[in-house]
């Protein structure tokens, strides 16, 4: 089956690229064996439309022209399909080889190696070792979220989507209607920024909290897409990294290296304790409670109360 389809797509691509004038559907059908065997007109038409879409996904620019006979003609002009000249030195070729290995997501990994093949076919030397003389680095972009691929396509094609989303503390997922703008991966997790139609405002979604399928909706975007979409700043805010306040804590000597690493000051108090001034933002109570009896919050009072509250919940469990 796969062979039949690849063979059919190759033939369609070569016909469209080889022709000097637009070809009608009838002419294409007469030129490609698989179409002759396609059975009735309906199944041929469906097959032809799908194949045309597949070739466009592969980058082929297929023009549609109204023929003189009133029939539509199809044509992949050489000048609009030809790769512009691209010359890379050895370092650049190695950098490109490295970039082509970064994606672990099937569709983009396939696209990256497909791009590399096109460039090699066009003359890029294929003996460049991507690691020779480079930083000894293996970068990987992780994609574990099943919502990634449909959202990537919806962002690319600017198509509205609907999906069920479970907010951080929600008991049940709720449907959201979103005009997707951009996807961003930060610390190994993917986020979507877009216009939430029900809320009438920009929202950032974490892909792992999307449950069920992402479905595209017909029609276009209703809200303007901003020139710059900032996902990371929003997420960093959730993670408490936009901390503006200061908290004072006592920390047992030798414990809590991450707190020391971000401390604004560390003062030894003697008897095995230090006093630290640390940035205070959203979520600090949850991270301080992890240190159990090695941290005692001094101020502010609300943080101290939050931590005591959390400790009580564990103590009486």
Partner 1 sequence: MAAQANAIDRTRRMLSLVTYLRERPGAHVADVARAFGVSEAELISDLDVLPLCGTSFRGGDLLDIDTDGDRIWWHNPDDVAAPLRLAADEATALLVAARAVSTLPGLREGDRQALLRVTAKLEAAAGEAAASSSRLSVTFEAEGGVFADVDRAISERRRLWLRYYSPARDELTEREVDPIRLFTVGHTYMEAWCRLSEDRRTFRLDRVAEIRVLDEVSAPPEIEVRDLSAGLVQPSADDPEVVIEVGPGGRWVAEYYPHDSAEELPDGGLRITLRTPDPASLRRLALRLGRDGRITAPAGLADSARAAARDALAAYEAQP
Residue with tokens 């009133």: 70
Order the strands of the 265-270 sheet from edge to edge: 265-270, 273-280, 245-252, 295-299
Binder to partner 1 among 156, 199, 215, 264 (CB under 8 A)?
A: 156
How far apart CA 221 and CA 182 sit, in angstroms, is: 13
Binder to partner 1 among 65, 72, 121, 266 (CB under 8 A)?
A: 121
Q: Which is nearer to partner 1, 67 or 81 (CB)?
A: 81
Q: Is 301 in the site for partner 1 (CB under 8 A)?
A: no
Round to the nearest angstrom and report the end-to-end CA distance of the chain.
59
How far apart CA 113 and CA 130 sit, in angstroms, is: 13
CB 72 → partner 1: shortest distance, Å?
A: 19
Binder to partner 1 among 142, 212, 226, 245 (CB under 8 A)?
A: 142
Binder to partner 1 among 37, 49, 72, 86 (CB under 8 A)?
A: 86
Q: Which is nearer to partner 1, 39 or 123 (CB)?
A: 123
Segment lying near partner 1 (by CB under 8 A), choices 40-48, 136-144, 216-224, 274-282: 136-144
Binder to partner 1 among 71, 108, 279, 281 (CB under 8 A)?
A: 108
Q: Is 155 in the site for partner 1 (CB under 8 A)?
A: yes
Binder to partner 1 among 67, 111, 202, 223 (CB under 8 A)?
A: 111
Segment lying near partner 1 (by CB under 8 A), choices 63-71, 113-121, 241-249, 274-282: 113-121
DSSP collapsed to 3 states, 213-262: EEEECCCCCCCCCCCCCCCHHHHHHHCCCCCCEEEEEEEECCCCHHHHHC
- Closest by CA to 142, choosing from 205, 110, 185, is 185
Q: Is 3 in the site for partner 1 (CB under 8 A)?
A: yes
Half-sphere exposure of 108 (CA within 13 A, CB side): 16
Reported as type and span, the H/E element at residue 48 is: helix 41-57
Segment lying near partner 1 (by CB under 8 A), choices 37-45, 55-63, 241-249, 264-272: 55-63
Which residues, including other chains, have CB under 8 Å from residue 23's CB and lie 6 or more apart? 15, 16, 31, 73, 74, 75
How far apart CA 218 and CA 310 sit, in angstroms, is: 47
Segment 14-53, which members bind partner 1 (CB under 8 A)?
14-15, 17-19, 30-33
Which residues, including other chains, have CB under 8 Å from residue 235's CB and lie 6 or more apart? 186, 191, 204, 206
Taking CB under 8 A as the rule, which mask of x and - marks residues 199-218 in contact with partner 1? ---------x----------
Segment lying near partner 1 (by CB under 8 A), choices 37-45, 182-190, 195-203, 274-282: 182-190
How far apart CA 29 and CA 44 sit, in angstroms, is: 8
User: CB atoms < 10 A from the CB of 118, how many?
Assistant: 14
Binder to partner 1 among 94, 178, 210, 278 (CB under 8 A)?
A: 94
Binder to partner 1 among 22, 43, 59, 67 (CB under 8 A)?
A: 59
Segment 244-283, which members bind partner 1 (CB under 8 A)?
254-258, 261
How many residues bind partner 1 (CB under 8 A)? The answer is 122
């Amino acid at each position: 089956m796969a062979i039949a389809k690849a063979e059919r797509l190759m033939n369609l691509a070569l016909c469209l690229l080889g022709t000097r004038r637009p070809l009608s559907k009838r002419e294409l059908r007469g030129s490609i064996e698989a179409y002759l065997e396609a059975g009735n007109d309906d199944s041929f038409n469906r097959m032809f439309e799908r194949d045309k879409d597949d070739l466009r996904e592969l980058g082929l620019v297929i023009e549609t022209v109204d023929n003189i006979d009133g029939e539509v003609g199809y044509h992949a002009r050489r000048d609009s399909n030809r790769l512009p000249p691209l010359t890379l030195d050895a370092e650049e070729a190695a950098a490109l080889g490295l970039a082509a290995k970064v994606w672990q997501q099937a569709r983009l990994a396939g696209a990256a190696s497909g791009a590399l093949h096109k460039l090699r076919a066009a003359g890029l030397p294929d003996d460049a070792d991507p690691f020779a003389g480079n930083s000894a680095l293996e970068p990987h972009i992780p994609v574990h979220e099943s919502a990634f691929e449909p959202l990537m396509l919806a962002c690319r094609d600017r198509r509205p989507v609907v999906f069920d989303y479970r907010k951080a503390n929600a008991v049940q997922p709720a449907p959201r209607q979103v005009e997707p703008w951009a996807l961003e991966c930060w610390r190994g997790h993917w986020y979507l920024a877009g216009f939430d139609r029900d809320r009438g405002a920009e929202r950032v979604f974490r892909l792992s909290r999307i449950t069920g399928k992402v479905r595209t909706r017909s029609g276009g975007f209703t809200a303007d897409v901003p020139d710059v979409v900032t996902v990371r700043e929003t997420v960093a805010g959730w993670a408490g990294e936009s901390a503006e306040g200061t908290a004072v804590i006592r920390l047992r000597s030798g414990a809590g290296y991450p707190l020391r690493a971000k401390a604004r000051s560390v003062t030894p108090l003697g008897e095995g304790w230090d006093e630290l001034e640390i940035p205070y933002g959203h979520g600090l109570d949850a991270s301080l409670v992890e240190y159990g009896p090695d941290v005692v919050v001094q101020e502010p009072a609300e943080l101290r109360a939050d931590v005591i509250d959390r400790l009580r919940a564990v103590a009486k469990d």
